[in-house]
């Protein structure tokens, strides 16, 4: 969904004094990017709220292609966790990483259409 | 390299073709579109059925909430539709609400990479690559722009970071039965309220982990309640079509054809093959053959073979 407004990238004007920075603030460079732990908690929760439906929808799509729903639900959530954690620790960016609806649809319908095992596709 | 080979209308039409596909999945899950064996075609289902009503309510809620930019609009719509489904008999209550997650054994390590290397699957390999690449690039740039991380030329410093993570995720995911791992455009919501660093992602990640404890609740959500999400997301994906010059026959025709063939054949790969083939053929027919690159001509040979195998009786 496109949003017209672009938030300005705040310069580290009111960045906290670096000697008193907590470990979190130093590791993630919160001050440099003009943000605080509280903002990040709220933002992380917001992103989760927005993306959580995928933890329901993706397994549903994959199950329609013949995968086991319970198992693939667990898999999907674990992958959301691992991918997003990787983005946090390696790239230090506020991106949620998980399976896209499009790719899941390709796999599921290809599988149900061709009658082959789902596994070939990747 | 493959990405440069593919003509712009095909690239831009991909998301619409995929969107039509996803929306159709939603309509089918809701029972609003069914196969009519008598006339041998798709037809409208029973809109007075409980499942269809549930989906329509969910869709209305999702649209209204999303317009007001309420975080979790789609999630709230799914939860509401699930609750309404209880008295209607669509939602079945689970035995317990909390429980340990199910094992992943049934979908883990079921790969057969050699089987993927045949010409009939070429469009899928391409579709996958394109979906991954453009999704990562599009999301990174769009969300990065929103976060004010782009330089004046629209480039993002350190953009290979997210690409490395996405590539690793996309490689590991299928081992556990989860395809097409990528950075998701939903990240924009967190950035909108001020998220700027990986700490945001840390909290998102652990909230996802926490949902594992509620897997009985997640598994009870009926497919009619998730159909609104599929319909809304799917139809939104048509928006990219506006960037194609639909009035230009050589550009608009292949893109629209790709969308329609995808829906007719219920097969994304067939749609892409039809789109690329028609693009090349129409360029030749309109004396604009020189606009088609040599690589694309080469690509049409396996695609022609693919299309022949799926679109002829044998």
Whether the Cβ atoms of residue B151 and residue B157 lie closer than 8 Å to each other: yes
**What token pair was written down for B67?**
């317009």
pLDDT of residue A56: 85
User: Helix or strand or coil: residue B36?
Assistant: strand
A66 has a chain B CB within 8 A of its CB: no
Q: What does the alpha-carbon distance between residue B148 and residue A1 come to, in Å, rounded to a whole number?
A: 18
Say whether pLDDT at A121 is over 50.
no
Residues of chain B positioned with their CB less than 8 A from the CB of A2: 239
Say whether pLDDT at A3 is over 60.
no
A window 4-43, beta carbon within 8 A of B? 6-10, 24, 28-30, 33-35, 37, 39-43
ipTM associated with this complex: 0.75
Q: Sorting pLDDT into bands at 50, 70 and 90, what band is A81?
A: very high
CA dihedral A72, A76, A79, A84 (to 10 degrees): 180
Q: Residue B12 class from Cβ within 10 Å (0-12 exposed, 13-18 middle, 19+ buried)?
A: middle
B25-51 pLDDT tens trace: 889 888 888 877 777 777 888 888 888
Percent of residues, chain A, with pLDDT higher than 70: 71
Residues of chain B positioned with their CB less than 8 A from the CB of A100: 131, 135, 180-182, 184
A111 has a chain B CB within 8 A of its CB: no
In the predicted model, residues of chain B with pLDDT beneath 70 are 1-5, 94-135, 137-138, 152-155, 313-314
Percent of residues, chain A, with pLDDT higher than 90: 6
Q: What does the alpha-carbon distance between residue B259 and residue A109 come to, in Å, rounded to a whole number?
A: 15
Whether the Cβ atoms of residue B117 and residue B234 lie closer than 8 Å to each other: no
Burial B59-90 (b: 16+ CB within 10 A, else e): bebbbebbeeeebbbbbbbbbbbbebbeeeeb
Task: Say how far residue A73 (Cα) sits from the centre of its chain.
Answer: 16
Whether the Cβ atoms of residue B249 and residue B282 lie closer than 8 Å to each other: yes
Whether the Cβ atoms of residue B187 and residue B166 lie closer than 8 Å to each other: no
Q: How far is CA B28 from CA A42, B25, B94, B230, B231, in A?
A: 36, 5, 24, 10, 10
The domain ranges of chain A are 18-115
Map tokens 């429980």 to a residue. B99
B132 has a chain A CB within 8 A of its CB: yes
Q: Sorting pLDDT into bands at 50, 70 and 90, what band is A30?
A: confident
Nearest CA-CA distance, residue A18 and chain B, Å = 17
A65 has a chain B CB within 8 A of its CB: no
B window 86-115, beta carbon within 8 A of A? 101-108, 110-113, 115
* Mean of pLDDT values over A2-11: 47
Burial B25-46 (b: 16+ CB within 10 A, else e): bbbbbbbbbeeeeeeeebeebe
Task: Say how far residue A81 (Cα) sits from the centre of its chain.
Answer: 8
Burial B251-260 (b: 16+ CB within 10 A, else e): bbbbbbbbbe
Q: Sorting pLDDT into bands at 50, 70 and 90, what band is A115?
A: very low
Q: On the CB side of A58, how many CA atoms lie within 13 Å of its CA?
A: 29
Residues of chain B positioned with their CB less than 8 A from the CB of A94: 143, 147, 187, 190-191, 195-201
Looking at residue B292, the DSSP 8-state letter turns out to be S
Query: What is the pTM (predicted TM-score) of this model?
Result: 0.71
Looking at residue A89, the DSSP 8-state letter turns out to be I
Q: What does the alpha-carbon distance between residue A36 and residue A24 come to, in Å, rounded to a whole number?
A: 10
Whether the Cβ atoms of residue B125 and residue A107 lie closer than 8 Å to each other: no
Neighbours of A111 (CB within 10 A): 20
pLDDT of residue B193: 78
Going by C-alpha positions, the residue among B245, B272, B277, B240 that lies closest to residue B259 is B272
Q: Sorting pLDDT into bands at 50, 70 and 90, what band is A111?
A: low
Helix and strand numbers (H, E) in chain B are 13, 3
Nearest CB to B111; choose among A69, A75, A119: A119
Nearest CA in chain A to B173: A79
pLDDT of residue A84: 93
Q: What does the alpha-carbon distance between residue B97 and residue B211 come to, in Å, rounded to a whole number?
A: 12
B140 has a chain A CB within 8 A of its CB: yes
Nearest CB to B101; choose among A8, A74, A87: A74
């Amino acid at each position: 969904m496109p949003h017209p407004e672009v938030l300005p990238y705040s310069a580290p004007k009111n960045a906290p004094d670096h000697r008193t920075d907590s470990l979190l603030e130093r590791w993630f460079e919160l001050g440099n990017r003009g943000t605080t732990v509280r903002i990040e908690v709220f933002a992380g929760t917001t992103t989760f709220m927005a993306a959580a439906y995928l933890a329901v929808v993706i397994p549903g799509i994959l199950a329609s292609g013949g995968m086991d729903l319970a198992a693939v639900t667990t898999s999907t959530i674990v992958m959301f966790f691992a991918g997003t954690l990787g983005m946090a620790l390696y790239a230090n960016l506020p991106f949620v990483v998980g399976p896209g609806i499009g790719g899941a649809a390709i796999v599921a319908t290809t599988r149900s259409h061709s009658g082959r095992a789902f596994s070939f596709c990747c | 390299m493959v990405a440069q080979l593919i003509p712009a209308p095909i690239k831009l039409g991909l998301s619409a073709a995929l969107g039509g596909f996803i929306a159709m999945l939603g309509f089918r899950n809701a029972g609003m579109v069914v196969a009519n064996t008598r006339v041998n075609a798709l037809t409208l289902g029973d809109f007075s059925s409980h499942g269809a009503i549930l989906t329509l309510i969910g869709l209305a809620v999702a649209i209204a909430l999303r317009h007001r930019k309420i975080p979790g609009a789609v999630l709230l719509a799914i939860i509401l539709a699930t609750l309404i489904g209880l008295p209607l008999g669509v939602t079945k209550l689970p035995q317990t609400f909390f429980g340990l997650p199910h094992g992943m054994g049934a979908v883990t390590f079921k790969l057969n990479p050699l089987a993927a290397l045949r010409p009939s699957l070429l469009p899928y390999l391409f579709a996958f690559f394109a979906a991954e690449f453009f999704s990562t690039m599009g999301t990174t740039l769009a969300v990065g722009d929103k976060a004010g991380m782009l330089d004046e030329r629209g480039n993002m410093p350190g953009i290979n970071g997210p690409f490395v993570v996405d590539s690793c995720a996309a490689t590991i995911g299928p081992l556990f039965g989860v395809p097409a791992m990528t950075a998701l455009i939903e990240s924009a919501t967190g950035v909108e309220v001020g998220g700027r660093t990986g700490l945001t992602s840390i909290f998102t990640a652990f909230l996802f982990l926490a949902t594992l404890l509620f897997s009985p609740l997640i598994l009870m959500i009926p497919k009619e309640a998730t159909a609104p999400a599929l319909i809304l997301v799917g139809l939104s994906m048509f928006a990219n079509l506006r960037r194609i010059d639909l009035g230009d026959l050589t550009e608009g025709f292949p893109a629209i054809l790709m969308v329609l063939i995808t829906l007719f054949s219920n097969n994304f790969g067939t749609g892409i093959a039809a789109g690329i083939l028609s693009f090349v053929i129409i360029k030749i027919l309109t004396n604009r053959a020189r606009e088609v690159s040599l690589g694309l001509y080469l690509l049409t040979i396996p695609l022609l073979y693919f299309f022949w195998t799926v679109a002829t009786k044998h």
